[in-house]
Amino acid sequence: MLCLGSAGQAQDPPKEHLLSSLLPDGPELEGWAKEGDHQFFEGDDLFIYIDGGAEIYFEYGFGRVIVQDYKKGTGSRLSLEIFEMESPEAAYGMFTFKSSPRGEPVVLGDEGQLADYYLNFWKGRYLITITGLDPEAGAKEDLVSLARLVDKKLEQRGQRPGLVSELPEDGLKPNSLRFFKGPLALYNSYPFFREDVFAFQSGIKGEYANGSTLFLFEYSTDKAAGRRFSEARSRFSAEPKYRNIQWDGELLVAQDEKGRAIYARLSGRFVLIVLGNNHRETAEALITRTEKHLANQKEDR
């Protein structure tokens, strides 16, 4: 078969070699062994590997990926993917995108999460995904053991994007965080519009114990945020799925086709949106709390 990506280790070019050196091998695998050659994809060739699912990686900032399957004597198989993203921010973003709402935290890299049959962690600009290919047979310990081997080989750490800390922590569900760098990730969290109406620099979403979901979109300047908020207001009015639109000069109120309330406000270079809480006072309180939090953070900086 023709494959535009490359396989094998015989003549690894430098970038491929760097990633292949991160693949656990030999005695350290303790019962596991590589199954077949690795696959390597760089830039646009990601389409060959993840045709149809590549854009989201590009939206966050993708560099290259190496993929290696492992097999245990009993027949269990694991797939290891090491994505080298363009920045720690990109790695963190994809990590939140791929996180499971039911996953459990695991101490790996800068942050890790273990789900039923798969595991994700990020460290520096790397995102690592390990999947049990035979979920019935897969043991979570195997996922974690393999992940630890990769973790040890990665030296540089990263930091979460600053925007994450702008969300008020009280009542925030940790697994619900989603960091956005573009419209596709936002669309997958909540499809406000099919077009890129908000056009933010970056965004964050968090769900709260009281049923509210908070979106916080960041812009480079107050003016840019104001322009986008103004555009969004008219689009809410024009979009048939939204009804009961109200605008009092500060707060935009709408209701989506499922009857969920939406409250949106412009605050400096941020747009804040609370979705899903039909109790107006509670929603407004969260917006106010976030604004205070933003102000405090600004003073701290």
Q: Which is nearer to another protein, 189 or 290 (CB)?
A: 189
Neighbours of 244 (CB within 10 A): 11
Q: Which is nearer to another protein, 109 or 166 (CB)?
A: 109
Q: Which is nearer to another protein, 40 or 294 (CB)?
A: 40
Enumerate binding residues for another protein (CB under 8 A): 1-4, 36, 44, 47-48, 50-56, 58-59, 69, 77, 79, 97-98, 100-102, 115-118, 129, 131-135, 182-184, 187-188, 191, 194-196, 199
Least separation in angstroms between CB 25 and another protein: 20
Q: Which is nearer to another protein, 184 or 285 (CB)?
A: 184
Least separation in angstroms between CB 261 and another protein: 19
Q: Which is nearer to another protein, 58 or 284 (CB)?
A: 58
Phi and psi (nearest 5°) for 297?
A: -60, -40
User: Which of 45, 287, 31, 29 shows the shortest CA–CA distance to 147?
Assistant: 29
Least separation in angstroms between CB 56 and another protein: 5
Least separation in angstroms between CB 277 and another protein: 20
Least separation in angstroms between CB 35 and another protein: 9
